[in-house]
C-alpha cells in the first residue's frame, strides 16, 4: 500500500469531540494519538505511546496539563516533553511526538510532517462551515482506504445508480450534464457538473409543486491528501440559476486515514436526528458497502496495476491520484 503523505494538514477531530478534561484517543495515519485541551482550552495532540515501555498513555491519567503514564508514572506535557519522573529527574531528551495543531472551521487540524513546513495558510478553505446555520458534525470510520473514498466522491455519476433509493435519481441528471475538470491555483482539483433542463431527482420534487424541469450544479473540490467539499444547487430550468429551488448547499467530506484500510470520514448535516440518519444512510448503507466490495475485490493490489478501465468521468479522480503520487515522490526524494 502507498505511503501516507506527511507534509499536509489533516482533520483529526471535530472541535466538540475533544473534551476540556481527559482526552479523545484516536488512531490517525496508523499511529495512536491523544487529542486534548489544556486548562486554557487550547487544543493539542500527543502520541498515545509512552517511550519507556510503549504502553498507551491513555491507560494513565491527566493531572492538570500533565499526562501521567499508568505503568511507571512518567509525566508528559502537551508539547510532548517528559516533565515528571517519580523516581528522580525527568530523563533528558525524553519526548513523545506532538505535531502542530490548529483549530479552524470547527475542527482540529494537524500536520504530521516536517514542523517548519506547517503553514496554517495551507489548511483548505472550509469557511462555509463557519458561515452555515446550525449544523450537525459527524464522523464515521469507513473500513476502506481513503483513496477509494476520494474516487467515489470525485465521480458523482455514481449517484445515478448507487443512490437511487435515497435521492430518487432517475438516470436523467448526468446525461444532461456538462463536466468541467480543472486544477485551481492552490492545487485543488475540481469536478464540476452543470446539468441543464433535466427531470428533477426525487428528493427535489416536493420543492417543485407545479412540476417542471431543473438546472442543477454539482461541484466537488478536492485538496490533497483528501479533504473534499461538495457544492450543490438546483434552480428552475432556464432561469440561469436565478430561481433557486434548492438554495446553494455546501458540505465537507473530509477523509483522514485511520489505517491503510480504514478512514475517518468527517461530514456535516442538518441539525436534526433525521438529517443525520439520512446522511448516514447514504454513506453507510449505499456508498460504503460498494467501496468495501471494491476493496475486497482488489485484495490489497495496487490500483494502477489492476489496469482499471478509464471513463471520461474519472478525470478528476485521476488528477487527484496523480497529485498524490507526485507528493509521495517529493517526500521520498
Ligand atoms: S511505560 Fe510509561 S513510564 Fe514506564
Ligand atoms: Fe455516494
pLDDT digits (tens, 9 = 90+) for 122-178: 999 999 999 988 889 999 999 999 999 999 999 998 988 898 888 877 777 777 788
pTM: 0.95
Strands 189-198 and 10-14: unpaired
Write the DSSP symbol of residue 285: I
Determine the distance separating the centroid of ligand 2 and the alpha carbon of 330, expressed in angstroms.
31
As a whole number of Å, the CA-based R_g of the chain is: 22
Atom of ligand 1 nearest to the CA of 50: 2
Mean pLDDT of 310-316: 93
For residue 198, give the C-alpha cell: 433535466
Write the DSSP symbol of residue 281: I
* Cβ neighbours around 192 below 10 Å, total: 17
Write the DSSP symbol of residue 2: P
Q: Which residues line ligand 1 (CB under 6 A)?
A: 50, 52-53, 55, 69, 71-74
Nearest C-alpha to atom 4 of ligand 1 is from which residue? 72
* DSSP bridge partners of 142: 263
Determine the distance separating the centroid of ligand 1 and the alpha carbon of 82, expressed in angstroms.
11
Query: Cβ contacts of residue 155 below 8 Å, gap of 6+?
Result: 191, 313, 314, 316, 317
Q: Say if residues 23 and 33 touch (Cβ distance below 8 Å).
A: no
Atom of ligand 1 nearest to the CA of 72: 3
The CA distance from 147 to 261, in Å, is: 10
Is the pLDDT at 9 greater than 90? The verdict is yes
Is the pLDDT at 57 greater than 80? The verdict is yes
Q: What is the 3-state secondary structure (H, E, C) of 67-125?
A: EECCCCCCEECCCCEEEECCCCCCCCCCECCCCCEEEECCEEEECCCCHHHCCHHHCCC
Write the DSSP symbol of residue 286: I
Is the pLDDT at 201 greater than 90? The verdict is no
Is the pLDDT at 2 greater than 90? The verdict is no
Domains of the chain: 10-122 (2.102.10.10), 127-332 (3.90.380.10)
Query: Cβ contacts of residue 130 below 8 Å, gap of 6+?
Result: 105, 106
Q: What is the mean pLDDT of the chain?
A: 94
Determine the distance separating the centroid of ligand 2 and the alpha carbon of 81, expressed in angstroms.
43
Nearest to 222 by CA among 264, 248, 261, 192: 192
- Backbone region of residue 23 per phi and psi (left: phi > 0; alpha: psi in -120 to 50; beta: other values): beta
Grouping H, G, I as helix, E, B as strand and the rest as coil, residue 165 is helix
Mean pLDDT of 201-206: 86
The CA distance from 81 to 79, in Å, is: 6
Nearest to 4 by CA among 26, 31, 29, 28: 29
Atom of ligand 1 nearest to the CA of 69: 2
Determine the distance separating the centroid of ligand 2 and the alpha carbon of 122, expressed in angstroms.
27
Atom of ligand 1 nearest to the CA of 74: 3
Nearest to 262 by CA among 11, 46, 9, 29: 29
The CA distance from 333 to 331, in Å, is: 6
Assign 1 a pLDDT band (cuts: 50, 70, 90): low
Nearest to 249 by CA among 263, 229, 265: 229
Amino acid at each position: 500500500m502507498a505511503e501516507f503523505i506527511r507534509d499536509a494538514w489533516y482533520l483529526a477531530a471535530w472541535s466538540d469531540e475533544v473534551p476540556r478534561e481527559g482526552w479523545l484517543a484516536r488512531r490517525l495515519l496508523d499511529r495512536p494519538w491523544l487529542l486534548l485541551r489544556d486548562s486554557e482550552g487550547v487544543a493539542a495532540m500527543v502520541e498515545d505511546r509512552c517511550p519507556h515501555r510503549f504502553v498507551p498513555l491513555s491507560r494513565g491519567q491527566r493531572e492538570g496539563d500533565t499526562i501521567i503514564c499508568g505503568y511507571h508514572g512518567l509525566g508528559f506535557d502537551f508539547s510532548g516533553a517528559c516533565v515528571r519522573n517519580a523516581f528522580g529527574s525527568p530523563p533528558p531528551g525524553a519526548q513523545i511526538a506532538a505535531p502542530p495543531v490548529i483549530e479552524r472551521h470547527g475542527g482540529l487540524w494537524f500536520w504530521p510532517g516536517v514542523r517548519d513546513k506547517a503553514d496554517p495558510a495551507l489548511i483548505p478553505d472550509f469557511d462555509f462551515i463557519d458561515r452555515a446555520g446550525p449544523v450537525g458534525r459527524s464522523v464515521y470510520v469507513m473500513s476502506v482506504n481513503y483513496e477509494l473514498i476520494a474516487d467515489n466522491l470525485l465521480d458523482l455519476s455514481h449517484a445515478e445508480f448507487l443512490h437511487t433509493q435515497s435521492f430518487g435519481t432517475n438516470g436523467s441528471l448526468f446525461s444532461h450534464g456538462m463536466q468541467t475538470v480543472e486544477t485551481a491555483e492552490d492545487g485543488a482539483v475540481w469536478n464540476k457538473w452543470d446539468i441543464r433542463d433535466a427531470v428533477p431527482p426525487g428528493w427535489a420534487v416536493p420543492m417543485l409543486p407545479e412540476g417542471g424541469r431543473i438546472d442543477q450544479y454539482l461541484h466537488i473540490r478536492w485538496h490533497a491528501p483528501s479533504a473534499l467539499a461538495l457544492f450543490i444547487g438546483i434552480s428552475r430550468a432556464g432561469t440561469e440559476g436565478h430561481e433557486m429551488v434548492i438554495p446553494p448547499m455546501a458540505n465537507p467530506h473530509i477523509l483522514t486515514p485511520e489505517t491503510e484500510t480504514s478512514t475517518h470520514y468527517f461530514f456535516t448535516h442538518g441539525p436534526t436526528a433525521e438529517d443525520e440518519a439520512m446522511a448516514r444512510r447514504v454513506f453507510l448503507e449505499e456508498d460504503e458497502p460498494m467501496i468495501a466490495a471494491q476493496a475486497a475485490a482488489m485484495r490489497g493490489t495496487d490500483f494502477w496495476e489492476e489496469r482499471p478501465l478509464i471513463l471520461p468521468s474519472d478525470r478528476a479522480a485521476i488528477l487527484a491520484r496523480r497529485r498524490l503520487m507526485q507528493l509521495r515522490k517529493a517526500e521520498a526524494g
